[in-house]
Amino acid sequence: MKALILVGGFGTRLRPLTLTMPKPLVEFCNKRMILHQIEALADAGVTDIVLAVNYRPEIMEKYLAEYEKQFGINITISIESEPLGTAGPLKLAEHVLRKDDSPFFVLNSDITCEYPFKELAAFHKSHGDEGTIVVTKVEEPSKYGVVVHKPGHPSKIDRFVEKPVEFVGNRINAGIYILNTSVLDRIELRPTSIEQETFPAMVRDGQLHSFDLEGYWMDVGQPKDFLTGTCLYLTSLAKKGSPLLTPPTEPFVYGGNVMIDPSAKIGKNCKIGPNVVIGPDVVVGDGVRLQRCVLLAGSKVKDHAWVKSTIVGWNSTVGRWARLENVTVLGDDVTIADEVYVNGGSILPHKTIKQNVDSPAIIM
Amino acid sequence: MSLQLPLRERSNGIPGVTKAVILVGGASRGTRFRPLSLDVPKPLFDIAGHPIIWHCLAAISKVPSIHEVYLIGYYEESVFRDFIKDASLEFPNLSIKYLREYQALGTAGGLYHFRDTILRHHPEHIFVLNSDVCCSFPLNEMLRLAEEKDAEAVILGTRVPEEAACNFGCIVSDSHTRRVLHYVEKPESYISNLINCGVYLFSADALFPSIRSAIKRRVDRPRLASYRSSENLAASFHLEDDDSTEKPEVIRLEQDILSDMADNKQFFVYETKDFWRQIKTAGSAIPANALYLQKAWQNGSQELAQPSANIIPPVYIHPTAQVHPTAKLGPNVSVGPRAVIGAGARVKESIVLEDAEIKHDACVLYSIIGWSSRVGAWARVEGTPTPVTSHNTTIIKNGVKVQAITILGKECVVGDEVRVQNCVCLPFKELKRDVANEVIM
């Protein structure tokens, strides 16, 4: 089977992290974002993966070559010379996707969930129509495009309603699809949207079905959602009793959902959790309080610091008695001086912060 | 040891007697020192480990010719009883008495009311100190100037930035002779950046006659003089109305005596180059604490904590306080009796009062932690740094004037991990959520 991952551009929404690291390589819960997807696809029997990008970071090649070897798959980078939207990239990669007649998966690279590829493929095969989109239940459908089914049919889609004012349903497009190769005939090689153009056409022909996603779903393309997605992912690991989580019997673990890379060092009298990810080679000092935060590889949190709702970038340092909160994001190699308070600061790489950032701000 | 002064000796060979008066005010004054003055009279509030008026007494005790000190105010007698008992032991060469006014008579009116007591033993000079100033009190230098010039009055002056000068009493002096030529209390327009520090030395022969003639002026001709410009005329009529209800005994040193003295008396100014600031608002206790601690540190005071990796001097820790060895304190921190500071806590530029507790890993910056208050683990109680030389203790946050210093009144509780910034918290409140730039009733 084959798959296409829509990676897109520079990942500006996830800056300042993506100023020094391509978005697919940013670690989400100690695993690069793209690897979560490659792993799940390979597990579902996918052998050919296309990454649709509109820029080509050299650093990606090294990792992709590694993954090809690790999973015994082929990874192709398909570069758009101009942005082709969400459908154009499929046409551009047609030669790979038409390699055989089997259907192919399409997914947005920013989505985290428990990827249901096997079940999705089986369901798609069972209804025999051209396409299936994964849908997820949301609490506030008025913010999204809502999927409405044909009366009396459990999965066949009747129409999409963008940001409905009145309640018409609570299932939205989750950004994961399985499509027959015939769908490629519906797409022209130009900037075009799969949601706005391709799917409505398929709906008119009665060719599009929905598939309900079990469990959590999150677009982690921006820092606030990255943190929320981290909480959801850790919660799902906890439910499964995953050995990736630090056992709650550790004296410093508070409230569970704590993932610590084995190479990280944790000081004395810390209180860590809930919902904390600590990356490789991270050093956490004594008396540190961490909650709802991500410490990326090589970062350091010194004694008595207090960190909440924050992403600490690679090789960054948080000073003693510093306090970070409210979706603070430190880029690569940032230093927060001792005793400094940062409220919702986005700190660009290689900066040193010596004064409080009292209200949310971008520090260039 | 301070320098012995070449005091002028009287004909009988005995140096002239000097007395000192500290004006302490009363409970209805000093409201700007709330919430701290809700629980302790402001003159007894501990700064750098000692009550505010202790610092005045310590300076007075270094003047060899002073043996009698009076505290004049309208607090109840019992208020100063313990302080006077302790201070009499600590300064055995001083006799300290509290003289209570039963009605507020104004700073000069109070002095006049107690003139018989003050004049007993025929003092040649009388120091008058306002209790709400924080400075090095160069009293011996003032006394020497008075002797040199045969002055009837010497005022302590200091230079402040021009834009701040109008908030104080302004002095125009002859730079050569140091004679005061003109004195105005809080002028509307800029006159001079040399301002009144609230510390005076009077010759006994000049002080009471001056007050007496001021009282006479007030009786003959109620105060009219204070309208300052035509735009202000309307306002000054109201002022007059207020004044007419004021008793003629209410005579203030600054308004009623000093400007008059400048006209025709032997009135001189001693300009201090040392630190000086007022202790008006509660927040001003933090810069005052820093200044007194730095002074003690420079003088090699033995009561300060020894510097170490976790003690950045100057730091005062009361002998009965418990500070965990991993806690980091200083600079400019005072920790009161029986206060407890937990493991890995951080305290900087702050006053921690009696019986307060700061739990492990908490961080306290530019704040006053009230008596028996508790700061939770990983909490952050924080003010905003203002220069010690600034005479303003408010800052503008989001267009609103707020206290730069965070103050927790008596028995307040800050929950674990809670952050409090630029807040004033009245006694007995519990803060469970983050707060910033607020007064919490």
DSSP for B323-343 reads E-TT-EE-SSEEE-TT-EE-T
Using DSSP's 3-state secondary structure scheme, residue A214 falls into: coil
Percent of the residues in chain B that have a pLDDT greater than 70, as a whole number: 88
**What is the rounded distance in angstroms from the CA atom of residue A183 to the CA atom of residue A198?**
8
Rounded mean pLDDT, B176-191: 89
pLDDT of B415 above 90? yes
Query: What is chain A's alpha carbon radius of gyration, rounded to the nearest angstrom?
Result: 22
Q: Is B227 on the interface with A (CB under 8 A)?
A: no
Q: What is the largest CA-CA distance in chain B?
A: 71
**Average confidence (pLDDT) over B397-423:** 88
Q: Is the pLDDT assigned to residue B359 strictly greater than 50?
A: yes
Of B339, B342, B359, nearest to B351 by C-alpha is: B339
Cis omega (within 30 of 0) for bond into A360: no
Q: Is A287 in contact with B380 (Cβ distance < 8 A)? A: no
Q: Are A172 and A146 in contact (CB under 8 A)?
A: yes
Q: Do B361 and A358 touch (CB under 8 A)?
A: no
Terminal alpha carbon distance of chain B: 48
Are A323 and B365 a contacting pair at CB < 8 A?
no
Asked if residue B131 lies in contact with residue B56, where contact means CB atoms within 8 angstroms, the answer is: yes
Q: CB A210: neighbour CB atoms within 10 A?
A: 23
The span from the CA of A13 to the CA of A109, in Å, is 13
Strand arrangement, sheet containing B333-335: B315-317, B333-335, B350-352, B367-369, B406-408, B424-425, B439-440
Residue B4 pLDDT more than 70? no
CA angle, B116 then B52 then B307, to 5°: 145
Q: Measure in Å the smallest separation between the Cα of B292 and chain A Cα atoms.
A: 24
Domain B18-278, architecture per CATH:
Alpha-Beta Complex (3.90)
DSSP B6-68: -PPBPTTSPBPPEEEEEEEE-TTS-GGGTTGGGTS-GGG-EETTEEHHHHHHHHHTTSTTEEE
Residues linked to residue A172 through DSSP beta bridges, in sequence order: A136, A146
> What is the full per-residue pLDDT of chain A (364 aa) written as tens digits?
999 999 877 778 898 998 889 888 999 999 999 999 999 999 999 999 999 988 777 888 889 999 999 999 999 988 888 888 888 898 999 999 998 899 999 999 999 999 999 999 999 999 999 999 999 998 888 888 788 888 888 888 888 887 888 888 888 889 999 999 999 999 988 899 998 899 999 989 989 999 999 989 998 989 999 999 999 999 999 999 999 999 989 999 999 899 999 999 999 999 998 999 999 999 999 999 999 999 999 999 999 999 999 999 999 999 999 999 999 999 999 999 999 999 999 999 999 999 999 999 988 8
The C-alpha angle B70, B123, B89, rounded to 5 degrees, equals 40
Q: What digits encode the pLDDT tens for the residues B101-128?
A: 887 778 888 888 899 999 998 999 999 9
Q: A323 and B363: CB-CB below 8 Å?
A: yes
Residues pairing with B401 in the sheet: B396
Residues of chain A in contact with residue B397, where contact means CB-CB under 8 angstroms, are 358
Interface test with B, best of A293, A320, A321, A328 (most B CBs within 10 A): A321
Alpha helices in B126-203 (DSSP H): 139-149, 162-165
Is A289 an 8 Å CB contact of chain B? yes
Counting Cβ atoms within 10 Å, is residue B423 exposed (0-12), middle (13-18) or buried (19+)?
Answer: buried
Interchain contact, B361 vs A320, CB within 8 Å: no
Packing angle, helices B204-220 and B106-113, rounded to 10 = 120
pLDDT at B396: 75
Asked if CATH classification 2.40.160.60 holds for the domain at B297-440, the reply, yes or no, is no
Mean pLDDT of the residues in chain B: 86
Measured CA to CA in angstroms, residue A120 lies from A48, A114, A135, A175, A210 at distances of 17, 12, 11, 13, 10
pTM recorded for the entire structure: 0.81
Q: Which of A65, A54, A118 is nearest to A89 (CA)?
A: A54
**CB proximity list for B148: less than 8 A, separation 6 or greater:** none
Q: Which residues of A touch B361 (CB under 8 A)?
A: 269, 287, 289, 304, 306, 321
DSSP letter at B3 equals P
B234 pLDDT more than 60: no
Q: Residue A147 belongs to what H/E stretch? A: strand A145-149
Domain limits, chain B: 18-278, 297-440
For B346, the closest of A269, A339, A341 (CB atoms) is: A339
| Residue B56 contacts residue B22 (beta carbons within 8 Å) | yes
Name chain A contacts of B380, Cβ cutoff 8 Å: 306, 321, 323, 341
| pLDDT score at B249 | 60
Exposed / middle / buried, residue B89 (Cβ in 10 Å: 0-12, 13-18, 19+) = exposed
pLDDT at B69: 96
User: Which of chain B's residues have a Cβ under 8 Å away from the Cβ of A320?
Assistant: 328, 346
Instruction: Determine the 3-state secondary structure of B247 from DSSP.
Output: coil
B348 shares contact with chain A (CB less than 8 Å): yes
Report pLDDT for B291: 94
Measure A274 CA to nearest chain B CA, in Å: 14
**Collapsed DSSP state (helix, strand, coil) of residue A247:** coil
Q: What contacts A166, CB < 8 A, 6 or more positions away?
A: none
Domains of chain A, by residue range, sit at 2-219, 245-362
CA B427 vs. chain centroid, Å, equals 23
Cβ-contact B279, B288 below 8 angstroms: yes
> What does A280-296 look like in DSSP terms, one character per residue?
TT-EE-TT-EEEEEEE-
pLDDT one-digit tens code per residue, B253-310: 887 888 888 877 789 999 999 999 999 888 899 999 999 999 999 999 999 999 999 9
Where does A245-362 sit in CATH, by number? Answer: 2.160.10.10
- Round to whole Å and give the CA distance between A357 and A324: 9
What is the ipTM metric for this complex? 0.75
- Give the CA count within 13 Å in the CB-facing half-sphere of B422: 19
The catalytic residues of A are: 163
pLDDT band at B228 (very low <50, low <70, confident <90, very high): very low
Fold of A2-219: Spore Coat Polysaccharide Biosynthesis Protein SpsA; Chain A (3.90.550)
Q: How many CB pairs under 8 A join A and B?
A: 46
Read off the pLDDT band of B227 (50, 70, 90).
very low
Of B344, B348, B382, the CB nearest to A287: B344
Q: What is the mean pLDDT of residues B63-76?
A: 92
